[in-house]
C-alpha cells in the first residue's frame, strides 16, 4: 500500500491500558498524518507531524492522546487510559512535503477496547 507501514494491524486493550500505534512513512517522506475512522464514517484528521515537530494537532483530543515523530524510527500515536470510545481504525498517511496531496496511506491499526 504505497509503502506506508503500520503496526500492529490489530490491537486489543482493556479499559485503562495504554495503546501504542506505530507508523513508518513511505521512503523519502518526512510528513506524517494520523486519522481516525469509526465504522461507516469517513476519516477524521487527528494530527500532522514533521520529523521531531508537531505541525497541527487540532484534531487530537486534548487528553490521553499524544503523537510523536522522532528523528529516528517510526511515528507513534499513543493513547493512555483507553476507553471503549477509542475503539476505531487509526490510519497513518505520509507525504514528501507539507500538505501535499495525494497522501499515501497505510492499512491502519484496528484498536479494540474490551
Instruction: Give the binding site for another protein (CB under 8 A).
Output: 1-2, 4, 33, 35, 40-45, 48, 55-56, 58-59, 91, 93, 98-108, 110
Q: How far is the CB of 67 from another protein (least distance, A)?
A: 13
User: Alpha-carbon dihedral of residues 29, 111, 10, 37, nearest 10 degrees?
Assistant: -50
Q: Which is nearer to another protein, 1 or 17 (CB)?
A: 1
> What is the number of other CB atoms lying within 10 angstroms of the CB of residue 31?
20
Q: How far is the CB of 26 from another protein (least distance, A)?
A: 12
**Residues 6 or more apart from 77 whose CB is under 8 A from it?**
20, 21, 23, 34, 46, 47, 65, 66, 67, 90, 92
Q: How far is the CB of 111 from another protein (least distance, A)?
A: 14
Q: Which is nearer to another protein, 58 or 85 (CB)?
A: 58
Q: Which is nearer to another protein, 10 or 15 (CB)?
A: 10
Cα–Cα distance measured from residue 51 to residue 46, given in angstroms and rounded to the nearest whole number: 17
Q: Which is nearer to another protein, 15 or 44 (CB)?
A: 44
Amino acid at each position: 500500500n504505497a509503502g506506508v507501514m503500520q503496526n500492529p494491524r490489530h490491537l486489543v486493550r482493556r479499559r485503562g491500558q495504554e495503546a501504542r500505534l506505530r507508523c513508518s512513512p513511505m521512503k523519502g517522506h518526512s510528513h506524517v498524518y494520523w486519522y481516525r475512522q469509526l465504522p461507516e464514517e469517513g476519516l477524521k484528521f487527528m494530527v500532522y507531524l514533521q520529523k521531531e515537530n508537531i505541525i497541527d494537532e487540532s484534531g487530537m483530543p486534548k487528553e490521553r492522546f499524544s503523537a510523536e515523530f522522532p528523528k529516528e524510527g517510526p511515528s507513534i500515536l499513543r493513547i493512555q487510559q483507553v476507553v471503549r470510545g477509542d475503539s476505531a481504525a487509526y490510519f497513518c498517511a505520509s507525504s514528501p512535503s507539507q500538505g501535499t496531496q495525494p497522501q499515501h496511506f497505510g492499512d491502519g491499526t484496528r484498536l479494540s477496547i474490551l
